[in-house]
Amino acid sequence: MGKIIVGKTTDIPPGKMIKVSIDGRDILVANIDNNFCATDDSCTHSGSSLSEGKLDGCVITCGWHAAQFDCKTGKLVKFPVKIRDLTSYNVTVESENIFVEM
């Protein structure tokens, strides 16, 4: 599919995250100290929207059952049982535009 523009750098302040939809797939885009990263937005445990959870540093905590994922890599950080990691996506910034590679 290639690179898809998902917004401007000013749309996501440092320490914040948003949900975008790309071809029917919900993607979470986060700004970690002006470094942007993207993962699937759906928790692999419950399917809840991770963008409705909390972002602390690079750790996303699901608002439903507190599963924690590293938003830079999509890897599971903490949960009582092993669940699938999130898919992560390459992000580039060009002239204030944020692109996610799908």
Q: Is the pTM for the entire model greater than 0.75?
A: yes
Q: What end-to-end distance do the CA atoms of the chain give, in Å?
A: 6
CA angle 100, 49, 73 (to 5 degrees): 45
Which residues is 87 bridged to in the sheet?
A: none
How would you label 76-100 residue by residue, b for 16+ Cβ within 10 Å and e otherwise? beebeeeeebbebbebeeeeeebbb
Give the whole-angstrom CA distance, residue 79 versus residue 65.
9
Of 78, 4, 71, 77, which is closest to residue 32 (Cα–Cα)? 71
In tens digits, what is the pLDDT along the chain, a chain of 102 residues?
799 999 999 999 999 999 999 999 999 999 999 999 999 999 999 999 999 999 999 999 999 999 999 999 999 999 999 999 999 999 999 999 999 999
| Domain edges within the chain | 3-101
Question: Is the CATH number of domain 3-101 2.102.10.10?
Answer: yes
Please give the backbone phi and psi of residue 80, each rounded to the nearest 5 degrees, phi first.
-65, -25
